[in-house]
Amino acid sequence: MTKSLRLLSLTAAVAAVALGGAARALACGNSEGYSHARIGASSNAYGISARIAQISAFDILNGHIAGWVGVGGTGKGPHGSDEWLRVGSTGFAGITGSDIYYEVALPGTYPTYHEVSTGVAVGTYTKVTVLEMHNRPNRWRVWVDHKPVSPPIRVPESHHGLMPIATSESWDGGTGGMCNDFSYSFRDLSIARAPGGDWQQLTVGYPIQST
């Protein structure tokens, strides 16, 4: 399978988000070891939510895979800094089952990984959400299964300013192109039109894929 076809397969896995479906992906690392495919909202919003599940056994030869929703990204913070908040499911080579985690990147700091739960069984859907807080501009929280799992997080200049994204990704552990086989299902993908809620189903998005 050529690299372009692998990436198209990975893009199909994320494109299924908008349709409430699922797909399998064989993802092979690029020059930096990563492959990803994303569906971005057509405009900035105040949060994003989905139900995510591992729908079959992973075959992770090296590194990790993940399916997540979040806001922000590389160069999306003040003055082109890295700034993001994401939550989702991840799997690692040699470990059975998925972990639920969230990750925070703030300007001038290294990203931090926070484990929420481990050993989530195949087929178990977990609702994951990042949301700006009502009446607290630039303060966000992470929610898992309708419960807050993070403290309020100050994300500078994020009010009105971050785009929601749903992502499926793989990292080959720095092995130079090793492929990981995995499958996620995304359901009920929604974006918040106001701080604290006003949820709307994401039915139109645009695909982004790695090169």
**Does 5 score more than 50 pLDDT?**
no
> Looking at the chain, how many residues does it have?
211
158 against 5, higher pLDDT? 158
Cβ-in-10-Å burial (0-12, 13-18, 19+) of 5 comes to exposed
Encode 46-76: b = buried (16+ Cβ within 10 Å), e = exposed. bbbbbbbbbbeebebebbbbbbbbbbbbeeb
Domain range annotation of the chain: 3-209
- Residue 161 backbone phi and psi in degrees, to 5: -115, 0
Q: CA-to-CA distance for 128 and 147, rounded, in angstroms? A: 9
What pLDDT, on a 0 to 100 scale, did the predictor assign at position 26?
54
Q: How confident is the model at residue 28 (pLDDT cuts 50, 70, 90)?
A: low
Q: How many CA atoms lie within 13 A of 158 on its CB side?
A: 35
| pLDDT tens sequence across 80-101 | 999 999 999 988 877 777 899 9
| pLDDT tens sequence across 134-156 | 999 999 999 999 999 999 999 99
Q: CA-to-CA distance for 164 and 29, rounded, in angstroms? A: 24
Task: Kindly report the pTM of this predicted structure.
Answer: 0.82
Question: What average pLDDT does this structure show over 121-141?
Answer: 94
What pLDDT, on a 0 to 100 scale, did the predictor assign at position 7?
36
CATH of domain 3-209: 2.60.120.200
| Ranges assigned E (strand) in 121-178 | 126-132, 139-144, 147-148, 153-154, 164-171
- Tokens representing 82 are 């890295």
- Diameter over CA atoms, the chain: 50
Gyration radius from the chain CA atoms: 16
Encode 79-90: b = buried (16+ Cβ within 10 Å), e = exposed. eebbbbbbbbbb
| pLDDT tens sequence across 40-64 | 788 889 999 999 988 877 777 677 7
Q: How confident is the model at residue 185 (pLDDT cuts 50, 70, 90)?
A: confident
